[in-house]
Structures are given as structure tokens and as C-alpha cells.
Amino acid sequence: MLGNYFEEATLLVAVVALGYSTRKQIVKTKKLIAQQAKQDRGEYGEEATAVAVS
């Protein structure tokens, strides 16, 4: 009977670890997307300035 508790606890730890890892990856991906969007806006701003000056 005690073995069943260990098995359930192991599965719970695995699920929690998977959830934590997934959340970390999602946060990292969102940061990269935001950084890329910011970089894209900066490049477009430079192009607009170059067109306005010439």
C-alpha cells in the first residue's frame, strides 16, 4: 500500500516539474518575441527617419 503512495508522489512531482519547465519556456519565448518586436520597431523608425531626411 505504501508503494502506491510513492508512485503517486513520483507522478505528482513529475507533473509539477513539467508544468514549471513549460512555464519557464513560455516566459522565455514571450521575452524573445517582445525583444524582436522592439527591435523591429527600432529598425522601422530608422528607415522612416532616413526617408524624411532625404
What confidence score (pLDDT) does residue 2 get?
A: 73
Tens digits of residue pLDDT in 2-54? 778 999 999 999 999 999 999 999 999 999 999 999 888 886 555 555 555 54
d(CA 44, CA 54): 16
All structural domains of the chain with their residue ranges? 19-54
Predicted model pTM: 0.59
